[in-house]
Amino acid sequence: GQQVMQIPQYQHVQEGEDFTTYCNSSTTLSNIQWYKQRPGGHPVFLIQLVKSGEVKKQKRLTFQFGEAKKNSSLHITATQTTDVGTYFCAGPEVGGAQKLVFGQGTRLTINP
């Protein structure tokens, strides 16, 4: 079946370092979404990318959607302790209406 893979599974950085997580889909996606889950919390929608090659920024976060619409990345510049959490990407299931297929997530921990 359709799969969405994320790497790395875990990342530990020093505060102030940059962080990147990568997302790869086994199928072409109509859009890709990113979510953040703080420890003990619930996933929160961050952003949706729709166009091939699209780049969007939210303050220190930069999101990219690949040209082939099968991969995406999230880059955080100069991490802060508030960035701690697990970042998930998700794409619509082919033929699945509004069903999403989630990646397994990248857990980010930060040493202050």
Q: Which residues in this chain contact another protein in the complex, by CB under 8 A?
A: 9, 31, 33, 35, 41-45, 48, 88, 90, 92, 97-100, 102-105
Q: At its nearest, how many Å lie between another protein and the CB of residue 38?
A: 12
Quick one: CA torsion of 46, 39, 6, 101, rounded to 10 degrees? -60
Across 4-31, b (16+ Cβ under 10 Å) vs e yields: bebeeeebeeeeeeebebbbbbebebeb
Supply the minimum distance, in Å, between the C-beta of residue 23 and another protein.
Answer: 12
Give dist(CA 66, CA 86) in Å, integer. Answer: 22
Q: Which is nearer to another protein, 37 or 77 (CB)?
A: 37
- Between 73 and 104, name the residue whose CB sits nearer to another protein: 104
CB 63 within 8 A of CB 34: yes
Rank residues 57 and 99 by Cβ distance to another protein and give the closer one.
99
Least CB distance to another protein at residue 33 (A): 6
Dihedral, CA atoms, 101, 6, 33, 38, nearest 10 degrees?
100
CB of 78 to another protein, least distance (A): 27
Q: Which is nearer to another protein, 70 or 77 (CB)?
A: 70
